[in-house]
Amino acid sequence: MISIIGKFGSYQPRIAPSAFIAPNAVIIGNVTIGENCVIWFGVVIRGAENEIAIGERTIIEDNSVIHSNSPIQIGNNVIIGHNSVIHSCVIEDNVLIGPNVCIYDGAKVGKGTMIGINSVIQPHQQLDPERYYKGNPIAKKVKRMKLFPIPVDLERNERYVKKNIAHARKFKKSFSQL
């Protein structure tokens, strides 16, 4: 179980030394991964010719796939849930993407947005900042519960990012293949 970090043509991934890349992740081509990012098991990030730029402290959970026909920008402090597909889009800072979400070409996810489990963001769909979206086949803005206002959600996301970074550091030190 070895990570595949590979060159494609003249493009080679640029990965910050503080990032954690799980042993079976695949990262190919024109990819930049920022400081303290966590790329969990089974993730595939394939940047053939268009750049995939991932900011700092971003968590990409198990079995997610990121690839593109055009550049992808993923901001800082983003959480991408398990089994998600990210394709040719822009994701701003402090976004929470639930498990099994698909985000398609030309979509833009505003800062502080939360996307519910199994949602689909259609091509060129624009998601307003600090809103909650969910739905399939088309995610729509939904009213947030008063119990969890945006600042509480953002604080919870920050704690989750910190927890994942700490967990990844343990993996870096303690994981060994049998």
SS (H, E, C) 27-89: EEEEEEECCCCEECCCCEEEEEEEEEEECCCCEECCCCEEECCCCEEECCCCEECCCCEEECC
Number of compact structural domains in the chain: 1
Supply the CATH number for residue 95's domain: 2.160.10.10
Residue 49, token pair as written in the block: 């010719």
Q: What pLDDT score does 125 carry?
A: 98
pLDDT tens digit at each of 178 positions of the chain: 678 999 999 999 999 999 999 999 999 999 999 999 999 999 999 998 799 999 999 999 999 999 988 999 999 999 999 999 999 999 999 999 999 999 999 999 999 999 999 999 999 999 999 999 999 999 999 876 655 566 767 888 899 999 999 999 998 888 887 8
**Contact, 146 vs 130, CB < 8 A?**
no
Q: What pLDDT score does 3 carry?
A: 82
- What is the distance between the alpha carbons of residues 130 and 165, in angstroms, rounded to a whole number? 24
Domain that holds residue 65: 4-174
- What is the distance between the alpha carbons of residues 79 and 134, in angstroms, rounded to a whole number? 16
Q: What pLDDT score does 62 carry?
A: 98
